[in-house]
Amino acid sequence: MTHTAVLKKEMPPYNVFDERCPTRGVLTRIADKWALLILARLEKGPMRFSHLQRDIQRITKKVLTQSLRKLERDGLVSRKIFATVPVTVE
């Protein structure tokens, strides 16, 4: 048995059609149109909330807030708070 055969045997292939596949969670999360647009904007680097809202046309504050919270909960984005007056968040 070759080294490659051993690796293939130990690591099962991913099958996105199988509900237990870990990639299903990622696909479900980014399938949301707002999440995908937000991630595309944040790919360039940190942005302020108001800048994101201006850049992503037709997204409401409520939907942007909810989407950012879900993305943060899932570990896809992070939030940084600066101790300024007023408080600054990226």
The residues pairing with 82 across neighbouring beta strands, listed in sequence order, are 88
| pLDDT score for 37 | 93
Q: Tens-digit pLDDT profile for the chain (90 aa)?
A: 555 555 555 556 778 788 888 888 778 877 888 999 999 999 989 999 999 999 999 999 999 999 999 999 888 899 888 888 888 887
The pTM (predicted TM-score) of the whole model is 0.71
The residues pairing with 89 across neighbouring beta strands, listed in sequence order, are 81
Structural domains of the chain, count: 1
Cβ neighbours for 23, distance < 8 A, ≥ 6 positions apart:
14, 16
Domain span at 33: 3-89
| CATH number for the domain that contains residue 51 | 1.10.10.10
Tokens standing for residue 58: 């037709």
